Amino acid sequence: MGILARQVLLGGIEIDGKLIPSGTQVGTSSYAIHHNEEYFPNAFTYSPECWIVDPETGVSEEDVEQAHSAFCAFSLGSKGCIGKGLAYAELTVTLARVLFLFYLREAEGELIGGGKPELGFGRKRKNEYQIQDRFVGARDGPIIEFKARVVFAYWTVLFNKNPFMTVLNRTAIR
């Protein structure tokens, strides 16, 4: 993934026992940060619970705060993505609509998008979604099957209209 570069300030900085002079560009990839077990325990395992405080799973408020402080998918600071808010809004509405309209399940068959031993160094973890080195990740999978929910079919038949359009029409700014 792309490098989140920053310039060393006056006086330099010591990183891992080495003095880096001021003016030097240093950085790390968001992939490396997001897979650092100091911020994300079990970083190579898909576990959305890591964002939810729950004593039963052992996730504390401090754990969630630490994960939030390290999350940088849209970069950070003055170099942060100007479209972050819009992207979150679009994803939220799209995901809500998909989850309302369809049942989802992982497609049967070979796991698409996961690592395999034959893929070589850094690509062997079966449960790690594989991406290529680009600032925006290229992808292959996962394959998901969708099945329409019955409630949506009934709504459409009974009222001959899309429930989302009904809500949008009522709340649209005129």
Among 4-18, 117-131, 142-156, where is mean pLDDT lowest?
142-156
Placement of tokens 């429930």 in the chain? 163
Stronger pLDDT, 154 or 103, i.e. the higher one? 103
Using 50, 70 and 90 to split pLDDT, how confident is the model at 173? very low
pTM (2 d.p.):
0.60
Among 24-28, 94-98, 136-140, where is mean pLDDT lowest?
136-140
Where exactly are the structural domains of the chain?
1-80
Using 50, 70 and 90 to split pLDDT, how confident is the model at 170? very low
First to last CA, the chain: 42
Among 46-50, 52-56, 84-88, 159-163, where is mean pLDDT lowest?
159-163
Nearest to 25 by CA among 48, 52, 1, 4: 4
99-122 pLDDT per residue, tens: 999 988 877 877 667 788 888 877
Question: Would the annotation count 72 as a binding residue?
Answer: no
Q: For strands 3-7 and 25-29, give the pairing.
A: antiparallel
Rounded (10°) angle between helices 163-171 and 150-159: 70
Distance of CA 113 to the CA centre of its chain: 15
Task: Compute how many other C-beta atoms are within 10 angstroms of the C-beta atom of residue 63.
Answer: 19
SS3 15: strand
Average pLDDT of the chain, as a whole number: 81
Stronger pLDDT, 42 or 2, i.e. the higher one? 42
54-75 pLDDT per residue, tens: 999 899 999 999 999 999 888 8
Contacts of 157 (CB under 8 A, 6+ apart): none
pLDDT at 126 > cutoff 70: yes
pLDDT at 138 > cutoff 70: no
